[in-house]
Amino acid sequence: MKSFLGKRAIASAISLVGLVILVFFLSRLTGDPTDLYLPVDASQEARDNFRRIHGLDQPLMVQFFQYVGDLLRFDFGESIRRSEPAIDAVLRGFTWTLQLAAITMALVTAMAILIGSLAAFHVGGFFDRLATFFSLVGASAPDFWIAIVAIVIFSVNLGWVPTSGTGGWEFWILPVAVLFIRPFGLILQVVRGSMISTLSSAYVKTARAKGLRNRPIIFVHALRNAMLPVITVIGDQAAALLNGAVVVESIFGFPGVGKLMIDSILQRDFSVILAAIMVTAFAIFLMNLLIDILYAVLDPRIRY
């Protein structure tokens, strides 16, 4: 098990190093922050002083190695826009995103496993066809379109929920509902397909022949053996929520790390961009490691 997890950790660490290099140089292509934060008629002395204060006066490679050295000391730099440590702004936004993703994935996982298992048990029936139809529609619809339509219908026309911002539970309804639809459709389809295959296996037929009731057959015997592909998709969709909540957070004005990332790109706040991507990537690395552990627990053959 230790060797198995060690190999996964090394592979993820290599990916993080590549990500740091890629994002550092790509972020510099957005332009010079001096043109954004100083007046058009600012003197050359003021521009040079601004660049010196924020470490932008050195050649690009020197800036990169300085950043890597700071990163090894867990120093993510200072936010140009907010005049605070970049990691503080990112962790504040990431807390919101993590709550949004956790609530959404908890609802998605519970509903997809329940409905997908029941659809597989009644394969070909009305419930199965209905669940398949809605899951395919949900998996195909783009998040940004669903978000805009939901705002028009439920906020503008009906006035049931706020259009954007944060506050009470009513502010969470639309973001969670919009983020719920796509992963629910994908995970439900995988649960249904995996359960259909498992329910037709010999040991399930034996359990039925022994007179076991349907509930323990579905949710005890069949579900565990059908969970490996399901866990893969759940992990992928959880990572996609951390990455893909950018559009939904921007549309709903939700103060998560996705919206912070977009704002920082527009503001050329390089330290916050890098810190946001690093924190998100590290969270995805931990999530993938957890999935690998679950794999090894559910199927010991994977350890070898």
Give which of 201, 204, 198 is closest to 226, Cα–Cα.
198
Q: What pLDDT does residue 107 have?
A: 92
Task: Report the distance separating Cα 77 and Cα 141, nearest Å.
Answer: 39
The DSSP letter of residue 85 is B
Q: What pLDDT does residue 302 have?
A: 56
- pLDDT at 154 exceeding the cut of 80: yes
pLDDT digits (tens, 9 = 90+) for 104-143: 989 998 898 888 888 887 787 888 888 888 888 888 878 7
Domain residues of the chain, as ranges? 86-303
CA distances from residue 194 to 71, 95, 220, 259, 277 in whole angstroms, order as listed: 43, 34, 14, 36, 34
Mean pLDDT of 280-294: 79
Task: Report the distance separating Cα 247 and Cα 253, nearest Å.
Answer: 10
pLDDT digits (tens, 9 = 90+) for 167-225: 778 888 888 888 888 888 888 888 888 887 777 776 666 666 666 666 666 666 666 67
pTM: 0.77
CA distances from residue 268 to 26, 215, 299, 303 in whole angstroms, order as listed: 11, 56, 47, 44
Residue 78 has phi, psi (to 5 degrees) of -110, 140
Q: What pLDDT does residue 202 have?
A: 66
pLDDT digits (tens, 9 = 90+) for 102-115: 899 899 988 988 88
CA distances from residue 214 to 44, 129, 252, 300 in whole angstroms, order as listed: 78, 20, 43, 27
- pLDDT at 303 exceeding the cut of 60: no
pLDDT digits (tens, 9 = 90+) for 56-99: 778 888 888 888 888 888 888 888 888 788 888 888 888 888 88
Q: What pLDDT does residue 269 have?
A: 85
CA distances from residue 206 to 121, 202, 219, 222 in whole angstroms, order as listed: 16, 6, 16, 12
Task: Report the distance separating Cα 154 and Cα 176, nearest Å.
Answer: 14
Tokens for 289?
A: 């490691």
Q: How far apart are the first and last CA of the chain?
A: 8
Fold exhibited by the domain 86-303: MetI-like fold (1.10.3720)
